[in-house]
Structure 1
Amino acid sequence: MDVIDLRDFYSQHLGIVARRLINRGIRARWPSARGQRVLGVGYPTPYLGLFREDSERCIAFMPAAQGVLKWPTARPTLASLVDEYALPLPDAAIDRILLVHALELSDDPAGLLREVWRVMAPSGRMIIVIPNRRGVWTRTDSTPFGHGRPYSRSQITELLRQAWFTPTAWGEALFMPPVAGSWFLRSALAWERVGAALSLPFAGVHIVEATKQVYRVSPARRERVRLIPRLEPVLVPSPTSRREAEGGGK
């Protein structure tokens, strides 16, 4: 999907409700980002408004294959088109990173996470909003969550560990079916409360918080030592000196 498709979805009634429900889950993990440097990767602009006012800096990076839109619309631009595998930031530059519509649409999700690991501060935190493989939202392509590769909880955990992250908290959102009917939209919050209380498995997205593994243990490998017998040096005359010695004897 490109940015036009994503923008159109979030301008519809279903997209507005989805944004509110996901924002509710993000806010539960990060109630404040005061004084923090916040980065969103993918298409995070519907959710970065939570942190734009109180953070030290809040910027959005959108992958080149997806495209970019000006954000915010009435202020100086804080969004940029980037290569998602070579983010234009120095090491350990960001305190909070939010990934939305990123991993499931990436050709190399492990490479993207390693680049995120590079730019994250040692005490940084990351939230990933990613489609749930068992959810209803992944079974329809009328929403962005039905595109790309969805993940189960075990798959996300394995991917994060391969990229040197540790999952620390889990949440879900979008328990309501992806139906734009007025009754479903009005009852969306009730769906969320019932689904969270009963731990129902068919939520539309996972909301995963993870931290950076600063020290990663690598297994030690003992090198095989080839034993060579010790030889004493022996003086051997060269062929020239040997002929001279023979000629002198004659």
Structure 2
Amino acid sequence: MSLDVVDLRSFYDSPAGEVARRLIGRIVRHRFSNCTGYSILGVGYATPYLGVFREEAVRVLAFMPAQQGVINWPSSGYSASALVETTTMPLPDSSIDRAILIHGLEITEHPRDLLAELWRILTPGGRILVIAPSRSGLWARLDSTPFGHGQPFSRSQLRDLMRETLFSPTHWSEALYVPPFKHRTLLRSGIMFERIGGFFGLPGAGVLIVEATKQLYRPIPSLRRVQDSRPQFAPAPEPVGIAPVSTFEP
């Protein structure tokens, strides 16, 4: 089920949404720490995480799925948001240096097509951050947050999906260890939850965050040795029932 853009905007205006933006945003910024001169694309509902790049990147775009709806972003100046079909984005090949996918992979009916399209528009060596709900996390089990809608992922499922679409995962992170409750005191403890959960590698994080690079060539699977794969033939038996040919001497 796809979330409406109004619901997403309302969530990020709430205390829980502010905590999510802050905790996920610190990882996004850490992984994409210097984007001077780059083109950056946010896909899904990425606008809460794109503002920090506007001062240094050449361009920052926000593409939102057609079934979700679109809002004007940024609030001032020229609009950089667009309503698109995420499997056929209106961008040329190899035109984006960095991509952020959030609130998109779990709700699309064609996750492989979406990632394949992002592979197409990324430059050689381009990098992508995919943020997806964790199957083991509490945030994916409550539909009061956007992360409780759509298909959550395990780490192995997300890794296999990335590799199938020719992305090479280079770094894994987790966020949202803090429970998605509305109690403000609990939400203020978000940083403490993140530090404890990250330090001990505890299960139960709300989202998985994988950074991956674009592979230019499809990896060649390991092959068996040629001689092992050839059919084995037994020696032919001696012919029987045939008289020997005599040698004629004049």
> Normalized against structure 1, the TM-score is what?
0.86
CA RMSD of aligned residues (A): 1.3
Letter of the 1:209 counterpart: E
SS of the residue 1:86 aligns to: coil
Within a 5 Å distance, the mapping from 1:172-183 to structure 2 comes to 172-183=174-185
2:215 & 2:8 partners in 1: Cα distance?
32
Contact (CA 8 Å) 2:125, 2:215: kept in 1 or not?
Answer: no
Corresponding residue for residue 203 of structure 2: 201
Aligned residue among 61, 64, 74 for 1:62 = 64
With 139-148 and 208-217 compared, the bigger mean Cα shift is at 208-217
Corresponding residue for residue 171 of structure 2: 169
Letter of the 2:108 counterpart: S
Aligned residue among 178, 192, 195 for 2:194 = 192
2:216 & 2:141 partners in 1: Cα distance?
37
Specify every segment of 5 or more residues in structure 1 that has no aligned partner in the other structure, as ranges: 221-250
Cα deviation for residue 43 of structure 1 reads 0.5
Contact (CA 8 Å) 2:93, 2:120: kept in 1 or not?
Answer: yes
2:135 & 2:169 partners in 1: Cα distance?
18
Letter of the 1:110 counterpart: R
SS of the residue 2:128 aligns to: strand
Letter of the 1:150 counterpart: P
Deviations 1:112-162 (A, max 9, x none): 000000000002000011100000101100000000000010000100011
Letter of the 1:76 counterpart: Y
Specify every segment of 5 or more residues in structure 2 that has no aligned partner in the other structure, as ranges: 224-250
Corresponding residue for residue 108 of structure 1: 110
Structure 2 residue 48 is the aligned partner of structure 1 residue 46: yes
Stretches (4+) displaced over 6 A: none
Structure 2 residue 166 is the aligned partner of structure 1 residue 158: no
Cα deviation for residue 217 of structure 1 reads 3.7
Deviations 1:202-249 (A, max 9, x none): 0000111000110114569xxxxxxxxxxxxxxxxxxxxxxxxxxxxx
1:52 & 1:132 partners in 2: Cα distance?
29
Corresponding residue for residue 217 of structure 2: 215
2:152 & 2:52 partners in 1: Cα distance?
25
Between the two proteins, the alignment pairs up a number of residues equal to 221
1:190 & 1:218 partners in 2: Cα distance?
44
2:80 & 2:126 partners in 1: Cα distance?
21
SS of the residue 2:106 aligns to: helix
Letter of the 1:14 counterpart: A
Cα deviation for residue 109 of structure 1 reads 0.2
1:207 & 1:52 partners in 2: Cα distance?
22
Deviations 1:141-194 (A, max 9, x none): 000000000001000010001111110000011000001102111111111111
Q: How has the CA–CA distance of structure 1 residues 217 and 208 changed in structure 2, closer, same or farther, with 3 Å as cutoff?
A: closer
> Normalized against structure 2, the TM-score is what?
0.86
Corresponding residue for residue 127 of structure 1: 129
Cα deviation for residue 73 of structure 1 reads 1.0
Letter of the 1:123 counterpart: G
Corresponding residue for residue 76 of structure 1: 78
SS of the residue 1:105 aligns to: coil
Cα deviation for residue 74 of structure 1 reads 1.6
SS of the residue 2:90 aligns to: coil
Contact (CA 8 Å) 2:15, 2:184: kept in 1 or not?
Answer: no
Letter of the 1:132 counterpart: S
Contact (CA 8 Å) 2:169, 2:210: kept in 1 or not?
Answer: yes
Corresponding residue for residue 28 of structure 1: 30
